[in-house]
Chains A and B, each alone.
Chain A
Amino acid sequence: MSVAVSMEPAQFRLVIPSQTRYLNLVTGLAKRASLVAGLDDATAAKVSIAVDEAVTNVILHAYHGEGEHSVELELRFTEEALEIHILHSGQGLRGDQIVLPDPKEYIKHPRKGGLGLLLMSRFMDEVRFKADEASGRNECCLIKKLD
Chain B
Amino acid sequence: MADLSIAVRQAGDVAVLLPAGFINAHTVREFEEALEGLVRDGRYTILLNCKNLNYISSAGLGAIMGLIETVREHQGDILLSDLQPNVFAIFDTLGFTQLYRVFGDEDQALAAVTPERKG
Contact = CB atoms under 8 A, between A and B. Distances in A.
18 contacts: A20-B26, A23-B25, A24-B24, A24-B26, A27-B55, A42-B89, A49-B55, A49-B57, A49-B86, A49-B90, A56-B59, A106-B95, A107-B98, A107-B99, A112-B65, A116-B57, A116-B59, A118-B58
Contacts, number: 79
A45 B96 CA distance: 18
B73 to A, nearest CB: 12
A115 B55 contact: no
Dominant SS among interface residues on chain B: helix
B102 to A, nearest CB: 14
Nearest to B26: A20
A104 to B, nearest CB: 7
Interface of B: 3, 22, 24-26, 55, 57-59, 61-63, 65-66, 68-69, 85-86, 89-90, 93-96, 98-99
